[in-house]
Amino acid sequence: MTSPLLSITGLSAVSDRDGKAPILRDVSLTLERGEVRGLVGESGAGKSTIAKALLGILPRSVRITDGSILFESRDLLTLSARELRGIMGSEISLIPQDPQTALNPGRRVEAQLTDGLRLKRGMSSRDARQRALKLLEEVHIRDPERVLRAYPHELSGGMRQRILIAAAFALEPKLVVADEPTTALDVTVQKQILRLIRGLQEAHGTAVIFVTHDLGVVAQICDSITLLYAGKVIEEGRTSDVLTHPQHIYTKSLISAGPRYDRPDAGLTPVPQTVFEQLRREIGIPEVRR
Amino acid sequence: MADVTSPAMPRSPSRMAKRIRALLAEPKVIFGGGFILILIILAIFAPYIAPKDPLEQDLMSGTLPPAWIEGSDPGFLLGTDDLGRDVLSRAIFGTRIALTVAFVAAGLAALIGTLLGLLAGWYGGWIDKVISRLVDIWMAFPPVLLSILLVAVFGSGVHSVIAAIVIIDWTRFCRVVRSETQAQARMDYVTAAHTIGFSRVRILFSEILPNVTPVLIALVSLEMGIAVIVEAILSFVGLSVASDTPTWGGMIAEGRQMIYQGWWVLVVPLIALFATVLAFNQLGDGLRRALDPVMRR
């Protein structure tokens, strides 16, 4: 086996805002080529921070204090802005969370979908347009000619998300970071979108980092899972192993907290306070924050 | 003004035609724009359109009322002032200064204000602090007083009037563009543009600027109206162009002194001023509606 596509080692980050509060605590993670990894955790667990660090779009208030992010043995944290721009889009790309705001309302779909092709691949407008039509077909959009001419507001949320997915895969990147791409969508559309991402990922051999708080989504799409709490990796492993034989009590209670569709009368079991207390002890968080 | 469309968006003629049709479907654009267009024609062809020389005095026919009032002279459609000068011709020639000031002053103020606003809103940090404090300090001065002071310093004349308006009113553009840029910068599409690997400058001009433009266009139109009024105020107090050039403000000043003898000397330029400002505002509102792709449903 060659070296992994991505290897994060000892990544730590603090927020400059609320009194140097740690956001990531010594996070390590390796991702093989073509692997789909679910990055799971509740709000504030640090999953989005990891995604943003990968894409070089960390807000200024977040400071990386330690660690490295090796992408094909280049450390993304030490590259210059110019070198980083060269990688972004063509080797690492993003499927954004909210299709309502992730497309520029003032530009037509064609312009936005072909941005990367023209900028990174130097394609002519005509070639880029042909490629864009193919891409739209790949994400199962009917009447792609019309969609290319449309403004984002003329399309449904599901359509827009498909366009964003097409754009993310446009340059055949090695890694796609999907930042909760189904949260803003209808449940019926969610499933189609998940299947679509999985299908494209398999067809192109792309590795995917799938950020989500939904274990059900992970079960559907991810090969492996990394569970985070308060910026710390709590559990990691193959999805089937983690979901059937969770090691940590937090993982166990999360899984049993999920709704049981076979027993709707059972209600929801919240994660017990004692579990959080144990977590905080393990990680070493002094003050109760919830 | 900067080009409205982004360079990355080639548009075929038929699409251009579509956009023009959308503009023409907006009644405010038709009325406001139509009126401004008529004013522009009047200004350019004033010597051919005006029935009389605006400076020609005829003391024998001083203070003649408009044509529909008894005692009028059919040669003077809107009457004469106390020196026997034709009010209609003077009002027509007055459009020249009004429109020149409106377009040049509003254009320059927009250019400077937009550029600084974009920089402040996009780069933030010390750039934003410096520009924002500058705007704060600027806006603490009462504008009319400041403009009178500036013209007094520069000396009177149309260039000084324009300079005064630009120096005072760039802050309007700067403030609005800055906050609009900040709002757009928080949108996910900007993040998405970062992750494609666009440079910051490119994102600013090809992603954010087109989304700021509809607001900007409305603002430019409003500013043109304001510029017309400021010019009139400065003419009124005698700080604009030399008195041998007819201006609406100058006419209003003259009319005020003889309001009991001939109200029309005051009312005609007043109506011209009012209608022009209204037309600019209507045009601005209509353009914003027609050009904003989100509002255009």
pLDDT at res. A264: 67
CA distance B140 to chain A (A): 32
| B195/A103 CB distance under 8 A | no
Partners of A66 in the β-ladder:
A12
Residues with Cβ within 8 Å of residue A39, at least 6 apart in sequence: A47, A50, A51, A209, A210, A211, A212, A226, A228
Q: Quick one: pLDDT at residue B5?
A: 40
Determine how many CB atoms are found less than 10 A away from the CB of residue A273.
Answer: 10
Question: Are A101 and B9 in contact (CB < 8 Å)?
Answer: no
Burial classification of residue A249, based on how many CB atoms lie within 10 Å of its CB (0-12 exposed, 13-18 middle, 19 or more buried): middle
Average confidence score pLDDT of chain A: 86
- A93–B8: do the CB atoms touch at under 8 Å? no
> Is A104 in contact with A135 (CB distance < 8 Å)?
no
Cβ-proximal residues to B79 (8 Å cutoff; 6+ apart), any chain:
B63, B64, B65, B66, B67, B69, B72, B87, B262, B264, B265, B268
Mean pLDDT computed over A218-247? 88
Q: Which residues of chain A make contact with B199, given a CB cutoff of 8 A? A: 85
| pLDDT score of B3 | 38
Three-class DSSP category at A288: coil
The full DSSP string for A197-257 is: HHHHHHHHT-EEEEEES-HHHHHHH-SEEEEEETTEEEEEEEHHHHHHS--SHHHHHHHHH
Indicate the residue of B187, B197, B294 with minimum beta-carbon distance to A86.
Answer: B197
Cβ–Cβ < 8 Å for A160, A181 = no
Measure CB to CB from residue B195 to each of A89, A101, A153 and give the nearest one.
Answer: A89
Tokens 């520069």 belong to B154
Cβ distance of B297 and A96 shorter than 8 Å: no
pLDDT more than 70, % of chain A: 94
Give residue for tokens 């509060």. A21
**Residue in the block written with tokens 């009047």:** B42
Structure confidence at residue A287 as a pLDDT band (50, 70, 90):
low
Q: What is the mean pLDDT of residues A233-241?
A: 88
- pLDDT tens, residue order, chain B (297 aa): 333 443 444 444 455 666 677 778 888 889 999 999 999 999 999 888 888 888 888 888 777 788 787 877 777 878 888 888 888 889 999 999 999 999 999 999 999 999 999 999 999 889 999 999 999 998 888 877 887 888 888 887 888 889 888 988 999 999 999 999 999 998 888 988 888 888 889 999 988 998 888 889 888 998 999 999 988 888 888 777 777 788 898 889 888 888 888 888 899 999 999 999 999 999 988 888 777 665 543
The predicted-structure confidence for A89-140, as pLDDT tens digits, reads as follows: 889 999 988 888 889 888 889 988 888 888 888 888 899 999 999 999 989 9
Q: With the C-alpha atoms ordered B141, B146, B150, B153, is the resulting torsion angle positive or negative?
A: negative
Distance of CA B53 to the CA centre of its chain: 27
Neighbouring residues of A109: CB distance < 8 A, sequence distance ≥ 6: A103, A147, A148, A149, A150, A151, A152, A155, A163
Asked if A102 and B188 come within 8 Å (Cβ–Cβ), the reply is yes
pLDDT over 60 at A288, yes or no: no
State the pLDDT confidence band at A168, using cuts at 50, 70 and 90.
very high
Distance from CA of B36 to the nearest CA of A (A): 28
pLDDT at B9: 42
CB nearest A89 (choices: B189, B197, B207): B197
The CA distance from B132 to the nearest CA of chain A, in Å, is: 20
**A contact test, residue of B9, B180, B196 with most A CBs within 10 A:** B196
On chain B, the residues whose CB falls within 8 A of the CB of A90 are 197
pLDDT at B241 (0 to 100): 79
Structure tokens at A72: 């094909």
C-alpha closest to that of B9 among A130, A151, A98, A120: A151
Characterize B102-123 residue by residue with b for buried, 16 or more Cβ atoms within 10 angstroms of its Cβ, and e for exposed: bbbbbbbbbbbbbebbbbbbbe
b/e A84-123 (16+ beta carbons within 10 angstroms → b)? bbebbbbbbbbbbbbbbbbbbbbbbbbbbbbbbbbbbeeb
pLDDT at A176 over 90: yes
Across the beta sheet with A232-238, the strand order is A92-95, A175-179, A207-212, A36-40, A224-229, A232-238
Q: Under an 8 A CB cutoff, do B294 and A153 touch?
A: yes
Contact B26, A128 (CB under 8 A): no
- In order of A3, A144, A161, A200, A215, the CA distances from A193 in angstroms are 31, 17, 8, 11, 16
Instruction: Identify the residue among A58, A76, A104 best suited for mutation to test binding to B, counting B beta carbons within 10 A and taking the highest.
Output: A104
The topology (CATH level 3) of B26-51+61-296 is: MetI-like fold (1.10.3720)
Is B197 close to A87, i.e. CB distance below 8 A? yes
Check whether A178 has a pLDDT greater than 60. yes
**Radius of gyration (Cα) for chain A, nearest Å?**
20
Taking the CA of residue A133 and the nearest CA in chain B, the distance in Å comes to: 16
Residues in chain B: 297
How confident is the model at residue A223, as a pLDDT? Answer: 92
Is B195–A55 a contact, with Cβ atoms under 8 angstroms apart?
yes
Cα separation, B190 vs B198, in Å, equals 10
CB contact under 8 A, B196 and A89: yes
Give the residue extent of every domain in chain B. Answer: 26-51+61-296
User: B3 to chain A: which residues are within 8 Å by CB?
Assistant: none
pLDDT for B8:
41
CB A220 within 8 Å of CB A192: no
% of chain A surpassing 90 pLDDT? 27
Shortest distance between the Cα of B169 and any Cα of chain A, in A, equals: 27
What is the DSSP code string of chain B? ---SS-TT----HHHHHHHHHHHHT-HHIIIIIHHHHHHHHHHHTHHHHSSS-TT---GGGTTPPPTTSTT--TT-TT-B-TT--BHHHHHHHHHHHHHHHHHHHHHHHHHHHHHHHHHHHHH-HHHHHHHHHHHHHHHTS-HHHHHHHHHHHH-SSHHHHHHHHHHHHHHHHHHHHHHHHHHHHTSHHHHHHHHHT--HHHIIIIIIHHHHHHHHHHHHHHHHHHHHHHHHHHHHTT-SS-TTS--HHHHHHHHHHTTTT-THHHHHHHHHHHHHHHHHHHHHHHHHHHH-TTT--
Calculate the alpha carbon distances from A75 to A28, A111, A167, B271 in Å. 14, 32, 25, 69
Q: How far apart are CA A89 and CA A276, in angstroms?
A: 38
Q: What is the pLDDT of residue A107?
A: 85
Task: Give residue B292's Cα distance to chain centre.
Answer: 21
Interface pTM, i.e. ipTM: 0.78
| Subunit contact A105:B197, Cβ cutoff 8 A | no
* Among chain B residues, CA nearest to A126: B10
